[in-house]
Chain A
Amino acid sequence: GENVEQHPSTLSVQEGDSAVIKCTYSDSASNYFPWYKQELGKRPQLIIDIRSNVGEKKDQRIAVTLNKTAKHFSLHITETQPEDSAVYFCAARGILSGGYNKLIFGAGTRLAVHP
């Protein structure tokens, strides 16, 4: 079945450093790749997404890259701040018969940004 692998499971950086989280997906028909940030006790919040017809997308300090051939996509956070500390989930939208929308999540990366 569809699968999304995410690495690393934990990531610790100093404030101001960059953080990179990587995901691979198994379903070559996947065409939509969102990233969610989840703070403790709160809902997952969409921070950035990318569609399969785009290779890179940037929003201020956050960028996502997609390599469709290798089925890899990555989240890049520059100039990290303590408030970036959270669990980050990547996801891929699986294509099902009938066109139904099913997101498959990676296992998550716990990012800690130390002042």
Chain B
Amino acid sequence: DTEVTQTPKHLVMGMTNKKSLKCEQHMGHRAMYWYKQKAKKPPELMFVYSYEKLSINESVPSRFSPECPNSSLLNLHLHALQPEDSALYLCASSRPQGVAGTEAFFGQGTRLTVV
């Protein structure tokens, strides 16, 4: 199984809503990531979890709150978002650095629209 599964595929939310994005992988990867991708731009790193601990927060606003309940799951909790937060949110996983075969596998993404 080389899949990273993200749900939902599409999400429309109002600026006062609270929603969550979910990501799951069963490749035994102990590093998981959230990226944000705007149209015609490269993925932009938001958060990195390594062994279920938050290791990198790229100065992301607090309206985005990541959570890693276990080694297979990664969530991104959303609250009070702005229209400019509309983007494709990608989850990825890999073996932590220092272990052979550290390629990152991406999920299909959640296309988020904030209205």
Contacts and interface: CB of A to CB of B under 8 A. Distances in A.
A105 to B, nearest CB: 4
How many of chain A's residues touch chain B, expressed as a range?
A: 20 to 34
Contacts of A87: 40
Interface residues of B, number: 24
A4 to B, nearest CB: 9
Given A32-B102, A43-B107, A98 B55 contact: yes
Chain A contact residues: over half helix, strand or loop, or mixed? strand
Contacts of B7: none
Given A32-B102, A43-B90, A44-B106, A101 B48 contact: yes
A106 B48 CA distance: 19
Nearest to A43: B106
A42 interface: yes
